[in-house]
């Protein structure tokens, strides 16, 4: 029988698993506390379990860890982690300092198959989906590396990969991120970013309505088709219709990410179209000037143009942030994650 990783299981599955290997089901909560709250690295650490039980668990189960291969620290305090997986693949995660707290940006796939034209990860293609344990371990190991782990309050699934293309493992990881018997992050502080996989957005809304961010980047189908191949499958009308019905509690809004690219999507007419497009949605907009990288076909607009675009949206009463990418000196900025950076 193959060993099962406790970090790949939710509470019900943990109960079912321990029962299957002949252990009382109430032990499931105890084991999960050790794994997620106390961050036990082996069954030996579980000192309130008998030696016999620890040995028994060890024969049938594991508690996985990622291999930390490298950490880089940017001038602005952003930290990028390169993790090695069991099969030799590598993934990256980023810890971003904000005002008074930290946000961890984690990966959900090795590479990505979505092919967005502005994205460095897309060039790598998709190697494979991450397991739920590999997603959760990024957070746990980043937290372990911090002087003040309690300051890690926000999680964004915005690193390498399209989270909704790996729905099953991502949903399981989200449960273990937000459930009180596991990592217990506030649901309001967990955000999933998608390029727009419509059926999976609908499913997420039904099953686990956390904060949603949508990588939009264009306000018309022609431009979006050029930048993001997914738009041919789920064009703007279909995407926006789904987003209009995404369940949100009072005061919550969908974040729209808009990477500003010179002469492609940065005209005032684009801003006007964006306003029209989002008129029925509770939205906030993050404008992200494109980050140039070697061999990139695009450029960032100049400062004046970025301001004009922002002003146009503010005039129409949108909350608009210009997100200066953090960690640009270590290639940790949006769309620049790739395990080949090192």
Site residues (vs ligand SF4, CB under 6 A): 112, 114-116, 119, 121-122, 160-162, 195, 215, 335
Smaller CB distance to ligand SF4: residue 195 or 254?
195
Of residues 105, 112, 195, 334, which has the active-site annotation? 334
CB of 261 to ligand SF4, least distance (A): 13
Of the candidates 92, 134, 162, 257, the residue annotated as catalytic is: 92
Instruction: State yes or no: is 334 an active-site residue.
Output: yes
Q: Compare residues 161 and 289 and give the one whose CB is closer to ligand SF4.
A: 161
Residue that the structure tokens 């695009």 belong to = 298
Q: What b/e sequence results for 156-173 when a residue is b if at least 16 CB atoms lie within 10 Å of its CB, and e otherwise?
A: bbbbbbbbbbbbebbbbb
Shortest Å, Cβ 270 to ligand SF4: 19
Nearer to ligand SF4, 84 or 115 (CB): 115
DSSP alpha helix (H) spans, the chain: 11-20, 27-32, 51-60, 132-144, 167-178, 198-207, 221-227, 230-233, 236-244, 268-277, 303-315
The region, left, alpha or beta by phi > 0 then psi within -120 to 50, assigned to residue 77 is left
Residue 116 beta carbon to ligand SF4: minimum distance, rounded to whole angstroms: 3
DSSP 8-state code for residue 324: P
- We find the least distance from the C-beta atom of residue 244 to ligand SF4, in angstroms, to be 22
- Residue 119 annotated among the catalytic residues of the structure: no
Q: In angstroms, how far is CA 191 from the centroid of its own chain?
A: 7
64 vs 121 by CB, closer to ligand SF4: 121
3-state secondary structure of 284: strand
Name the residues annotated as catalytic.
Answer: 92, 334
């Amino acid at each position: 029988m193959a060993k099962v990783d406790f970090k790949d299981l939710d509470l019900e599955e943990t109960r079912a698993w321990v029962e299957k290997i002949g252990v009382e089901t109430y032990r499931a909560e105890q084991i999960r506390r050790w794994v997620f709250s106390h961050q036990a690295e082996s069954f030996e650490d579980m000192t309130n379990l008998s030696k016999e039980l620890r040995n028994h668990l060890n024969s049938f189960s594991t508690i996985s860890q990622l291999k930390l291969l490298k950490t880089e620290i940017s001038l602005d305090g952003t930290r990028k982690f390169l993790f090695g997986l069991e099969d030799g693949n590598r993934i990256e995660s980023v810890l971003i300092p904000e005002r008074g707290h930290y946000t961890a940006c984690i990966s959900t796939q090795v590479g990505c198959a979505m092919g967005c034209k502005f994205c460095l990860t897309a060039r790598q293609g998709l190697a494979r989906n991450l397991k739920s344990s590999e997603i959760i371990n990024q957070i746990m190991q980043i937290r372990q590396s911090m002087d003040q782990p309690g300051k890690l309050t926000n999680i964004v699934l915005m690193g390498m990969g399209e989270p909704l293309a790996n729905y099953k493992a991502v949903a399981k990881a989200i449960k273990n991120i937000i459930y009180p018997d596991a990592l217990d992050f506030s649901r309001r502080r967990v955000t999933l970013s998608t390029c727009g996989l419509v059926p999976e957005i609908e499913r997420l809304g039904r099953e686990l309505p956390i904060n949603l961010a949508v990588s939009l980047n264009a306000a018309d189908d022609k431009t979006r088709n050029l930048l993001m191949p997914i738009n041919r499958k789920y064009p703007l009308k279909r995407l926006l219709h789904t987003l209009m019905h995404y369940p949100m509690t009072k005061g919550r809004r969908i974040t729209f990410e808009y990477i500003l690219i010179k002469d492609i999507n940065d005209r005032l007419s684009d801003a006007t179209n964006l306003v029209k497009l989002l008129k029925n949605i509770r939205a906030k907009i993050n404008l992200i000037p494109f980050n140039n990288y070697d061999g990139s076909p695009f450029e960032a607009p100049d400062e004046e143009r970025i301001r004009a675009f922002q002003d146009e949206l503010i005039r129409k009463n949108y909350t608009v942030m210009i997100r200066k990418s953090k960690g640009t000196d270590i290639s940790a900025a949006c769309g620049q994650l790739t395990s080949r950076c090192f």
